[in-house]
Amino acid sequence: MIKLLSLTAVGLLIASVAGVAAQAGETEYNFTWCGHSKGTLLTASPKLMIWTDDTPGIVTPQSKFKPFENMTIRCMGYHRMMEGKETAASACMMTDPAGDTFIGESTGLPDKPPVWTFLGGTGKWQGISGAGTYKIEAMSKPAADESVEICVTPTGKYTLP
């Protein structure tokens, strides 16, 4: 279940953006965000487990990618683990310190790298497009309530009009 929570959090993470003014054109990103993921289990058996998660977080200043620094993130996801293989989807909204937002979604399929896609934005992020991937940098063991602490590093490119 921890791995499943992580895909949602990861998908979420790629979507974060900061209060620094964005520039038009293609920009490579590579940053880290951390959050607290709370899962809700629908069913669990040796062959099938299904859950959802809600993961709020923040882009860390240590990630050194200034355009996304201190952006808050909220991701919500769906996970299915069937016979040891996970399928996951999540949507994330990122809000910069000025209140401008963007939204994206992530998809994780068995035996393939996760994918993140920007869907749109407001304010300085209006018209954002692009994609990337992510990896989980750190994740705690589940607490008694099935929540985990997680840090994700997304990488990719985005374009603004």
**CATH classification of the domain holding 66:** 2.40.350.10
- In angstroms, the CA 37 to CA 27 distance is 28
Position 130 scores a pLDDT of 97
Measured from the Cβ of residue 115, the count of other Cβ atoms closer than 10 Å reads 17
pLDDT more than 70, % of the chain: 85
Is a pLDDT exceeding 60 seen at residue 20?
A: no
Position 24 scores a pLDDT of 61
- In angstroms, the CA 47 to CA 135 distance is 26
Q: Distance of alpha carbon 101 from its chain centroid, rounded?
A: 14
Buried b (16+ CB within 10 A) or exposed e, 74-90: bbbbbbbbeeeebbbbb
Position 64 scores a pLDDT of 77
Mean pLDDT (the chain) is 86
Which residue is associated with the tokens 């929570």? 5
Is a pLDDT exceeding 90 seen at residue 17?
A: no
| For range 129-158, the mean pLDDT | 93
Is a pLDDT exceeding 60 seen at residue 54?
A: yes
What residue numbers bound the domain in which 58 lies?
2-160
Is a pLDDT exceeding 70 seen at residue 150?
A: yes
Task: Pick the range with the lowest mean pLDDT from 48-57, 59-68, 99-108, 141-150.
Answer: 59-68
Which residue is associated with the tokens 């974060």? 16
Contact at 8 Å (CB) between 46 and 22? Answer: no
Is a pLDDT exceeding 70 seen at residue 152?
A: yes
Question: How many structural domains does the chain have?
Answer: 1
